Chains A and B, each alone.
Chain A
Amino acid sequence: MAFGLAPREATQGNVQRIMYLHVPSVWVAYLAFAVVLVASIAYLARRSEGADRLAHASAEVGVLFTGLTIATGSIWGKPTWGTWWTWDARLTTVSILFVMYLGYLLLRGMIDDRERGARFAAVLGIVAAFNIPLVHFSVYWWRTLHQPPSLMKPGPSTMPGVIVAALLVNFAAFTLLYVYFVTRRARVLRLEAEAEA
């Protein structure tokens, strides 16, 4: 299992290193929710149990990484902006994402009928995914239009090669972690289903 947490030298202050956690986390979250969309459509089209389990597992791991994104973002924000929370575009978008897919998991948890739960979750998965661009644009416009440019953006102003390389390494590591988690989680779901049968 490739953990690959290799913080390299950051030229803009050591707090910058949190970016190596924060950015790959949100990337994996988006990947996870994209998979949820595809799996949801696949389930409605073919009624494959495997697709349903994939959607469920991916949503769960996605929520996990979204939560991680928010947490690391917040921790990064405290020394950088002086506050734990701020309604900047990225944090806000991710928070909405978090609550949407948390609702997805809630829905699954509250429907006892397996087949109905799968169906409804699939529909919700599709709605949520199509909502992501709407969320992105609305929040971005909300924060950047007519906003004084005093908002500090916590990203590196230049991207030296070393930083990019480190970021890519972590992208890869997190993606592998995602795949591993989802596979395992889907397997657990299959075992649960068999146990109930």
Chain B
Amino acid sequence: MVVWKDLLVERRSKETLNAVFFFGLLLLFLFQFALGPDRERLAGTLPGLLWLGFILSGLLGLGRTFVAERENDCWEGLLLTPGDKSAIYVGKLAGNLLLMLVVETILLVLFGFFFNLELAAVLPALAVVIALGTVAFAAVGTLFAAMTAHVRARELLFPVLLLPVEAPVLLATVKATEAVLLGEPLGSVAHWLKLLAAADVVYVAVGVLTFDFVLEG
């Protein structure tokens, strides 16, 4: 069941993937233009910019999680699914995670290219931070996407709801990324990583437990 959902998501995600990736690329250009060519100044803000890019692209992709079901009148199909509806959540979450991670990887490479970063050495550490942060983001995002699917101003409400909730995650990931890019070991930001891990657990647990309630009716 979950696998089927996943495959379905994969087929659709091609268009989403392209759009989100292109959006991320545009953001990169915008950052350059808005912040000027001063390399020194840019360097300090890089972790923040990177995650801003991830999050803004993610908003775009996550918001569309349930669009297909809604537009094609498949919503009832979702509701009538026998058994634990949380499986749908997990399936969608997995799909979203994959989407976001792919986009983030490409964006990271581009970032490294444009801003001339030495990423090879810190890649494993960076990967850990990005993975932890993305799970937190996708977990709540998938849940909220389901909730806002039927709301009037869906495109407005989704980011409005998601961003405040993700504020601590953003703080943690940026601080951790900052340290990693400076070459510090992961241990130095252990507290941030623990926070992210805790957030991951909490968000996924809440998502799994409450998704049934979201899909009713």
Q: How far is A64 from B53 in the complex, measured between Cα atoms in Å?
A: 33
Count residues on chain A whose CB falls below 8 Å from chain B CBs: 29
B147 touches A135 (CB 8 A): no
Q: Mark B147-172, 1 if CB is under 8 A from A, else 0.
A: 11011110001001101110111011
Q: Is B105 an interface residue (CB 8 A)?
A: no
Segment from A14-22, A51-59, A121-129, A158-166 that makes contact with B: A121-129
A111-B151, A116-B150, A119-B216 known; A135-B210 Cβ under 8 A: no
Q: Is B206 an interface residue (CB 8 A)?
A: yes
Q: Is B70 an interface residue (CB 8 A)?
A: no
Chain A residue contacts of B168, Cβ below 8 A: 96, 131, 134-135, 137-139
A137 touches B195 (CB 8 A): yes
B161 touches A107 (CB 8 A): yes
A103 touches B191 (CB 8 A): no
Q: Mark B8-27, 1 if CB is under 8 A from A, else 0.
A: 00000000000000000000
Q: Name B151's contact: one of A44, A107, A131 (CB within 8 Å).
A: A107
Q: Is B214 an interface residue (CB 8 A)?
A: yes
Q: Is B199 an interface residue (CB 8 A)?
A: yes
Q: Name A123's contact: one of B147, B152, B163, B202 (CB within 8 Å).
A: B147
A103-B160, A103-B161, A115-B217 known; A138-B210 Cβ under 8 A: no
A123 touches B213 (CB 8 A): yes
B213 touches A107 (CB 8 A): no
Q: Is the interface of B mostly helix, strand, loop or mixed?
A: helix
Q: How far is A116 from B147 in the complex, measured between Cα atoms in Å?
A: 9
In the assembled complex, the CB of A36 is this many whole angstroms from the nearest CB of chain B, namely 14
Q: How far is A102 from B12 in the complex, measured between Cα atoms in Å?
A: 34
B147 touches A100 (CB 8 A): no
B interface residue count range (under 10 / 10 to 19 / 20 to 34 / 35 or more): 20 to 34
A122 touches B195 (CB 8 A): no
Q: Is A3 an interface residue (CB 8 A)?
A: no
A128 touches B165 (CB 8 A): yes
A120 touches B214 (CB 8 A): yes
Chain A residue contacts of B143, Cβ below 8 A: 123, 127
In the assembled complex, the CB of A113 is this many whole angstroms from the nearest CB of chain B, namely 8
B167 touches A123 (CB 8 A): no
Least CB separation from A121: chain B residue? B147
Q: How far is A130 from B163 in the complex, measured between Cα atoms in Å?
A: 15
B164 touches A123 (CB 8 A): no
In the assembled complex, the CB of B4 is this many whole angstroms from the nearest CB of chain A, namely 25
B191 touches A110 (CB 8 A): no
Q: Is A99 an interface residue (CB 8 A)?
A: yes
Q: How far is A137 from B169 in the complex, measured between Cα atoms in Å?
A: 11
Chain A residue contacts of B147, Cβ below 8 A: 107, 120, 123-124
A134 touches B217 (CB 8 A): no
Q: How far is A75 from B188 in the complex, measured between Cα atoms in Å?
A: 37
In the assembled complex, the CB of B89 is this many whole angstroms from the nearest CB of chain A, namely 12
**Residues of A bordering B, CB below 8 Å:** 44, 96, 99-100, 103, 106-107, 110-111, 113, 115-116, 119-120, 122-124, 126-128, 130-131, 134-135, 137-139, 141-142
Which 4 A-B residue pairs are closest in the complex by CB-CB distance? A138-B168, A99-B164, A100-B164, A134-B168
**Residues of B bordering A, CB below 8 Å:** 140, 143, 147-148, 150-153, 157, 160-161, 163-165, 167-169, 171-172, 175, 191-192, 195, 198-199, 202-203, 206, 210, 213-214, 216-217
11 extra interface residue pairs, beta carbon distance < 8 Å, beyond A103-B160, A134-B169, A135-B167: A106-B157, A110-B151, A111-B151, A119-B213, A126-B206, A127-B140, A127-B165, A128-B165, A138-B169, A141-B191, A141-B192
CB-defined A-B contacts under 8 Å, sample of 23: A44-B210, A44-B213, A96-B168, A103-B157, A103-B164, A106-B160, A107-B148, A110-B157, A113-B217, A119-B213, A119-B216, A120-B214, A122-B213, A123-B210, A123-B213, A126-B206, A131-B168, A134-B168, A138-B167, A138-B171, A138-B195, A139-B171, A141-B171
